[in-house]
Amino acid sequence: MFNEQQTKLARYAKALGHPVRIYVLQTLAKQTCCYSGDLSEVLPIAKSTLSQHLKELKEAGLIQGEIEAPRIKYCINKANWAEAQDLLKAFFED
């Protein structure tokens, strides 16, 4: 019923559908990368909850984590970030 673009768009939008995740993405988009602990210090949520949000963003493809033991460095997944941007742009411009 729904085409690839519609499904992808809904998926990306859903990932953006929470203030914590918006904040995380804005932070990553601004300063290239950061650690979970950096976010945890600022955000008023439990570490485990943040971890869940990061997992969702990872599963949506918008971020990626790189092990830099004992920490994990999170960055924007640039390819998918660009795809989400393009899909949204097209969505609003049709």
Residue with tokens 């085409």: 3
Footprint on residues 22-81 left by a second copy (CB under 8 A): 22-23, 25-26, 29-30, 43-44, 81
Q: Report d(CA 36, CA 58) in Å as an integer.
A: 13
Residue with tokens 């960055």: 75
**Cα angle, residue 4 at apex, residues 1 and 20 outer, rounded to 5°:** 110
- Show the site string, 2-31: x = touches DNA by CB under 7 A, - = not: ------------x--xx-x-----------
Structure token digits, residue 77: 């997944």
Q: How far is the CB of 80 from DNA (least distance, A)?
A: 17
Binding site for a second copy (CB under 8 A): 1-2, 6-7, 9-11, 13-19, 21-23, 25-26, 29-30, 43-44, 81, 84-85, 88-89, 91-92, 94
